[in-house]
């Protein structure tokens, strides 16, 4: 089974590019209380990508996953987690994965991973606009909002 991960890589790179373009001094600035800080979002994305990658090897989605060490380079971990999950999709031998109480296919998990990236990007897009934070060029170019 070969799974094309281009859509996931595109979605994940939108998050990764934000980390590369946004000054780190803004990462700990609360934007909207319900969202938490940008740093926590980045760490969340790394952790969830790891959970999904693991599930493609074990056949079971298991949260909470591994926390990102405090001294880790967030930018490097975002890139690494993108590559790891993309590789896991391409190499999985699993035909079904237990997610909560039901089985899904690796292709369905791919859609979930892409959706997960997009949901959080949309949340932060609004938060950035409300806080007057300049959006990454690709976000402005691709979304034109």
- Residues within the annotated binding site? 44, 116, 120
Task: Round to the nearest angstrom and report the end-to-end CA distance of the chain.
Answer: 37
Q: What angle do CA 138, 120, 44 make, to 5 degrees?
A: 110
Residues annotated in the binding site for a divalent metal cation, as ranges?
A: 44, 116, 120
């Amino acid at each position: 089974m070969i799974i094309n991960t281009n859509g996931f890589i595109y979605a994940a790179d939108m998050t990764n590019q934000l980390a590369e373009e946004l000054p780190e001094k803004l990462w700990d600035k609360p934007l909207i209380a319900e969202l938490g800080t940008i740093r926590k979002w980045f760490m969340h994305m790394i952790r969830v990508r790891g959970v999904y990658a693991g599930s493609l090897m074990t056949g079971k989605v298991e949260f909470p996953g591994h926390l990102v060490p405090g001294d880790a380079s967030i930018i490097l971990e975002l890139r690494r987690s993108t590559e790891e999950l993309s590789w896991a999709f391409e190499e999985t031998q699993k035909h079904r994965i237990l997610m909560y109480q039901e089985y899904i296919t690796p292709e369905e998990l791919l859609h979930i991973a892409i959706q997960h990236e997009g949901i959080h990007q949309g949340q932060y897009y609004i938060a950035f606009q409300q806080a007057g934070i300049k959006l990454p060029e690709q976000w402005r170019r691709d979304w034109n909002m």
